[in-house]
Amino acid sequence: MLTYNFDSRLPLYDSLYKNIKADILQGKLKANQKLPSKRNLAQHLKISVVTVENAYAQLILEGYIYALEKKGYFVCALEKTNACSPQMGEIKFENTKNRNAFYLDLASNSICSEKFPFTIWSKLMREVLLEHNTQLLDVVTYNGVEELRTAIAEHLYYFRGISVSANQIIVGAGTEYLYSLLIQLLGRKKTFAIESPGYKKIAQIYHFNDVECEFIDLDKYGMSISKLRESEAEIVHISPAHHYPTGIVMPIKRRQEILNWADEKNDRYIIEDDFDSEFRFVGRPIPTLQSIDKNEKVIYINTFSKSIAPSMRISYMVLPYHLIEKFNDTLNFYSCTVPSFEQYTLAKFISKGYFERHMNRMRNYYKKHRDAIIQAIKDSPFGEKVTIHEENAGLHFLLKVKTQMADSELKQKAFEKDIKLSFLSEYYLNENNNTNHILVLNYSGVDSNKIVESVKRLSELF
């Protein structure tokens, strides 16, 4: 039977969840090993069944354990993965040390799992089981259940200023899957323009789907319109609301210029990736490109991986009417990749107002968390050697460091101090890179109790 000491500073379910996860990562709990039932473990540890249920629910969400009906809970088989470079098929293997193995991981995008509304989510799951019953066993329509698409459409209207029909929405398991659908919908012979610097996974997906890509430089307003016009691109993939990793917010003039570029030819389109747009801490939310598109040129994509949880794996795209007709005619043989149970639960979470309240809480939390980290940096011995940029949106900011060391040397020295760093220079997809010593600091996963010690270690490093 599992026996643990609980951290009094944490909620019981969180302490239990972390103890079990640690045992899985350390190999103490083996793949496919059966875990104690909720009731038996609760009785053994002298805690409530709900506490065990919430801990197990989080472990399932993150993929550490799985449940089999009438059989119980079992440990998942975990694998190490290697990241590959998008450059012309050349594959580079990076260190695969798990993010939980670092004392401080500033390179990985993550969320604060302790703030997930487990009680509400569990309640909604039970409601779905009661209301939909055997319907959950039916085949899901290729574009996703209607209740979720309707909830997403209403959310987009009220919070992103997008007026669309639920019939324009396609639900899929992650943006990577949706990118592959778009490649098939728009055609593999098209040339795609991608921001550089940018999120490398986008380039990797296009490259390994045999799509020609051109990497377009950014200026201070986002993707350079002059460089775009010099290219042979027909499809543009951009993040105008909050670019990762630079944090640039594309102004309306540049948005209009790119829309005008798309309007010049019938087969040109813009993929608007609105990832991370929910977390803006200063001013009003930035209007989307889709909301000012008059000629059906914008394909809007977003995901719930940052706003709820990475393991949620529910993303969606909004297609213009003429493209949704083409999709229905040519790609409707694909099955929806998200189980109906999760879709119905998320639909309730959105339509009953829980999602909005959750986002308000998380924005407040991350703002305070960011402020604490920035203040600790300013108060530290190396505060005068750094400047902070683009901290008003998203869950990362840029930290310009005054140092003579190369980025690669800094990264290695940090690794030796049990710190994982990433630099802006790593995100360039072409040769135009003169951004040494700019750290991309992903702060959302930093433990609040470790801020002082974390900044102390950074100070020693720099």
- Asked if the structure places residue 80 within a domain, the reply is no
> Is 324 found in the same domain as 451?
no
β-pairing verdict for 222-223 and 212-219: antiparallel
Total domain count for the chain? Answer: 3
- Asked if the structure places residue 343 within a domain, the reply is yes
> Is 392 found in the same domain as 311?
no
What is the Cα–Cα distance from 315 to 175, expressed in whole angstroms?
6
> Is 172 found in the same domain as 113?
no
- Asked if the structure places residue 313 within a domain, the reply is yes
What is the Cα–Cα distance from 356 to 349, expressed in whole angstroms?
9
Residue bearing the bigger pLDDT, 95 or 27: 27
> Is 339 found in the same domain as 273?
yes
Q: Is the pLDDT of residue 96 over 50?
A: no
Residue 440's domain spans which residues? 99-117+356-461
- Asked if the structure places residue 396 within a domain, the reply is yes
> Is 187 found in the same domain as 125?
yes
> Is 375 found in the same domain as 309?
no
Q: Among residues 230, 243, 235, 231, which one has the least CA distance to residue 196?
A: 243
> Is 373 found in the same domain as 262?
no
pTM given for the model: 0.75
Peptide bond into 245 cis (omega under 30): yes
What is the Cα–Cα distance from 43 to 20, expressed in whole angstroms?
17
pLDDT tens across 319-375, in order?
A: 999 999 999 999 999 999 999 999 999 999 999 999 999 989 988 888 898 899 899
- Asked if the structure places residue 83 within a domain, the reply is no
pLDDT tens across 143-165, in order?
A: 999 999 999 999 999 888 899 99
CATH of the domain at 372: 3.90.1150.10
β-pairing verdict for 419-420 and 269-273: unpaired
For the chain, what is the mean pLDDT?
87
